[in-house]
């Protein structure tokens, strides 16, 4: 599996049969500037969303129209994307549910966060629950994108049920866990062989580096990959 960080919480996953974008916030994302949008969306088959905030939904509707990709998200967000954004290829679910796709499945797991969006008309739309996404592949290691979240003790249940080998973990503080708490979450509740931090460095109010997280990982710091935006990690 080839994993490319696109800045903030946006990632591109390339597997045997599928090319997946998670939380494709590209336009307006300072962390994506300098990357090639054509490369980022090339051959995309699926777009997966953890929750409805604008810095995660991002360019979903535009990319779905350009590529014909299937959008997977929680039910409330899916209804909103269909009615307001014209997205017609949708796979929707909710916390605890699993959706099987071409060569992978996606399970909606808990995340401690909010999920609403204030649109141009000034109306706040409730867009369902915030989730992490647990991905199981036919021929690749299992991957957990935690979404935006704080630490919570039921992370232990996610690990017990799904045994993720790869973790994508928010570390930027202010709106998610900070580095020290994210390190504690990874060490106490998971047994990741590879960890990619995210949701940092994008805006001035977030932590600007992953240094605190790497330090908090202590003896497991060697399992952390810290790519620059646009760089890839192969696992």
Find the largest Cα–Cα distance for the chain: 50
pLDDT grade for 125, boundaries at 50, 70 and 90: confident
E strand map for 97-158: 98-100, 104-110, 116-118, 124-126, 131-137, 143-145
Tell me the C-alpha distance between 130 and 50, whole Å: 6
pLDDT grade for 145, boundaries at 50, 70 and 90: very high
Question: Mind listing the pLDDT tens digit for each residue in 7-62?
Answer: 999 999 999 899 999 999 999 999 999 999 999 999 999 999 999 999 999 999 99
The owner of tokens 């497991």 is 220
Tell me the C-alpha distance between 94 and 73, whole Å: 8
Parallel, antiparallel, or unpaired: how do β-strands 116-118 and 124-126 relate? Answer: antiparallel
Q: At what angle do helices 155-162 and 179-189 cross, to 10 degrees?
A: 40
Mean pLDDT score of the chain: 97
Question: Mind listing the pLDDT tens digit for each residue in 178-199?
Answer: 999 999 999 999 999 999 999 9
> pTM of the full predicted structure?
0.97
Q: Which residues are bridge partners to 74 per DSSP?
A: 93
SS3 147: coil
Tell me the C-alpha distance between 199 and 235, whole Å: 21
Domains (range + CATH), the chain: 2-228 (3.60.15.10)
Exposed e or buried b for every residue in 68-93, given b needs 16+ CB within 10 A? ebbbbbbbbbbbbbbeeeebeebebb
Asked whether residue 207 carries a pLDDT value surpassing 80, the answer given is yes
Tell me the C-alpha distance between 16 and 127, whole Å: 32
């Amino acid at each position: 599996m080839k994993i490319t960080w696109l800045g903030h919480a946006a990632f591109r996953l390339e597997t045997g049969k599928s090319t997946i974008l998670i939380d494709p916030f590209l336009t307006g994302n300072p962390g994506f500037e300098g990357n090639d949008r054509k490369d980022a969306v090339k051959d995309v088959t699926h777009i997966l969303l953890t929750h409805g905030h604008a810095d995660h939904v991002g360019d979903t509707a535009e990319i779905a129209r350009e590529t014909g990709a299937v959008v997977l998200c929680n039910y409330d967000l899916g209804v909103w994307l269909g009615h307001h954004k014209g997205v017609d290829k949708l796979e929707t679910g909710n916390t605890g549910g699993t959706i099987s796709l071409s060569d992978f499945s996606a399970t909606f797991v808990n995340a401690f966060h909010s999920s609403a969006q204030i649109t141009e008309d000034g109306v706040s739309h409730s867009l369902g629950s915030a989730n992490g996404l647990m991905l199981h592949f036919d021929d690749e290691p299992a991957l957990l994108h935690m979404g935006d979240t704080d630490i919570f003790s039921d992370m232990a249940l996610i690990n017990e049920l799904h045994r993720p080998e790869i973790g994508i973990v928010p570390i930027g503080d202010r709106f998610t866990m900070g580095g020290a708490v994210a390190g504690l979450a990874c060490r106490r509740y998971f047994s990741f062989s590879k960890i990619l931090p995210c949701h940092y460095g994008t805006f001035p109010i977030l932590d600007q580096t992953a240094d605190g997280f790497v330090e908090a990982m202590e003896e497991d710091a060697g399992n952390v990959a810290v790519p620059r935006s646009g760089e890839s990690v192969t696992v």
